[in-house]
Amino acid sequence: MSKIEFKTAKPGQWLGLLGGGQLGRMFCMAAQSMGYRVLVLDPVANGPAGSVADDQVLADYMDDQGLAKLAQRCIGVTTEFENVPALALDTLSKSIPVSPSAFSVGIAQNRIEEKAYISGCGVPVAPHVAIRSKADITDTLSDLMPGIVKTARLGYDGKGQVRVKTLDEVRKAFADLNEVECVLEKRLTLQKEMSVIVARDHKGECATFPVAENHHRKGILATTIVPARIDDAMAAQARSNAIAIAGALDYVGVLCVEFFVVDELGLVVNEIAPRPHNSGHYSIDACVTCQFEQQARVLAGLPLGDTRQHSPAVMVNLLGDLWYSEEGMEREPAWEKVLAIPEVKLHLYGKEQARVGRKMGHITVIAETLDRALTVAQEVRDILG
Ligand code: ADP
Ligand code: MG
């Protein structure tokens, strides 16, 4: 873990960022609006973050010279990409503050360790077992059927997951996944999916954002509704669980905790992401301080901002699918029509190529009431098709 102390950065100083996607882009914008400069390390040129950053190091995450450039110029480094090698963060942490630490990122990168860590702090997770070899697939696992086999590493947006009903299907799934380390989880009947974003600074102060209710389509987040339609006790429980997990990890930075609400089990944690999260994008338009500003504040050694939500919000993800007609012809979505609705805020990530399933942007509907926001979100979907 980083022993290097966080110091308060002055406007004009450089903040470093590993990764160049949309989360990095929105981090750049938030940091720049407070007067900081951002240096992005990304192996790809003109990415969503690189194209708005003040400067970019075009290098691989494990490139020693690239990392050294970051360490020389920046007062601290953060990440936007959860599969950034923990080793790169470890190397950087020898000379500058790193948020979050290599340790926290390492835990979140492996579903087996992640689940062990979370249940270790007294927070329930879905019933599961680790599958490291064929021999781990025994008859006792029939209690976990129907289930989901998930690769322990490198899964996102539902990738690296296979739904199974029998132990033979588990064996087949494990073989199809090239026998990499996996977890087999019981498939739960989800009443709701929710998430909490928590920021924790180097002094251990925490601030959680309001609980977000998430709806997925084909394993990808489609819509986030905030505040989540749950009772106050459950919301308080979710927020305090998120703080407990951040505290146990001695986490410094922005962390997302994804929850399931399950009939028999109540609130269980699905997974954590050691960075701002798609389900927190609503905070840009709906909260006093957004998740990206919070990330910049932690890195710059500043006090955490107020996470108060000033308007109900519904966030709708804009996937590349919208750039194609039903016949598969390329088209430009009808922005002028959705922007004619007063409650609509549009965010596009500057990606050149639209692909099916690719996150191209999002819309946040900011309305007087949640009901109105939900109605407008449906209008937006109808317009964009
Ligand atoms: P990813 O890393 O791809 O986000 P998740 O573990 O969050 O992977 O799974 C993606 C989605 O699949 C979840 O948001 C949820 O809708 C569904 N899912 C995952 N695990 C379970 C489970 N144990 N029971 C029921 N649904 C699940
Ligand atoms: Mg997930």
Range of the domain at 148: 127-186
Q: How far is CA 187 from CA 127, 145, 270, in A?
A: 9, 7, 11
Least confident of 13-22, 153-162, 345-354: 153-162
The pair of three-digit structure tokens given for residue 303, joined into one six-digit string: 């006090």
Residue 176 pLDDT greater than 90, yes or no: yes
Provide the pLDDT for residue 3.
62
Mean pLDDT computed over every residue of the chain: 95
Q: Is the separation of the CB atoms in 41 and 16 below 8 Å?
A: yes
Looking up residue 354, the CATH number of its domain turns out to be 3.30.470.20
- Tell me which of 186, 210, 237 is where a domain ends: 186
What's the 345 CA to ligand 1 centre distance in angstroms?
28
Task: Confirm whether 2 is domain-assigned.
Answer: no
Which residue puts its alpha carbon closest to atom 27 of ligand 1?
187
pLDDT tens by residue, 201-230: 999 999 999 999 999 998 899 999 999 999
Residue 363 pLDDT greater than 70, yes or no: yes
Looking up residue 172, the CATH number of its domain turns out to be 3.30.1490.20
Let me know whether 161 and 306 are in one domain: no
What's the 221 CA to ligand 2 centre distance in angstroms?
8
pLDDT tens by residue, 31-62: 999 999 999 999 999 999 999 999 999 999 99
CA-to-CA distance for 27 and 292, rounded, in angstroms? 5
Ligand 1 mutation target, pool 161, 257, 264, most atoms within 8 A of CB: 161
157 — pLDDT class (breaks 50, 70, 90):
confident
Let me know whether 179 and 211 are in one domain: no
The closest ligand to the CA of 155 turns out to be: 1
Kindly provide the ipTM of the predicted complex, given to two decimals: 0.97
Percent of the chain with pLDDT over 90: 92
How is 289-353 classified by DSSP, letter by letter?
Answer: S-HHHHHHHHHTTPPPPP--B-S-EEEEEEEGGGGB-TTS-B----HHHHHTSTTEEEEE---SS
- Tell me which of 108, 139, 168 is where a domain ends: 108
φ, ψ for residue 17, nearest 5 deg? -140, 125
As for ligand 1, residues whose beta carbon falls within 6 Å of it are 126, 148, 150, 155-158, 185, 187-188, 190, 193, 216, 219, 258, 270-271
CA-to-CA distance for 144 and 148, rounded, in angstroms? 9
Let me know whether 37 and 92 are in one domain: yes
Let me know whether 224 and 151 are in one domain: no
Let me know whether 158 and 297 are in one domain: no
Let me know whether 237 and 166 are in one domain: no
How is 217-237 classified by DSSP, letter by letter?
Answer: ETTEEEEEEES-SS-HHHHHH
Let me know whether 37 and 170 are in one domain: no
pLDDT (mean) for 64-70: 97
What's the 8 CA to ligand 2 centre distance in angstroms?
33
Let me know whether 152 and 172 are in one domain: yes
The pair of three-digit structure tokens given for residue 362, joined into one six-digit string: 């999002």
CB neighbours of residue 220 within 10 Å = 16
pLDDT tens by residue, 275-332: 999 999 999 999 999 999 999 999 999 999 999 999 999 999 999 999 999 898 999 9
Task: Confirm whether 91 is domain-assigned.
Answer: yes
pLDDT (mean) for 79-91: 88
CB neighbours of residue 217 within 10 Å = 13
What's the 188 CA to ligand 1 centre distance in angstroms?
10
Provide the pLDDT for residue 2.
42
Residue 14 pLDDT greater than 80, yes or no: yes
Let me know whether 196 and 179 are in one domain: no
CB neighbours of residue 371 within 10 Å = 10
156 vs 254 pLDDT, higher one: 254
- Tell me which of 75, 108, 141 is where a domain ends: 108
CA-to-CA distance for 350 and 121, rounded, in angstroms? 40
φ, ψ for residue 155, nearest 5 deg? -90, 145
What's the 186 CA to ligand 1 centre distance in angstroms?
11
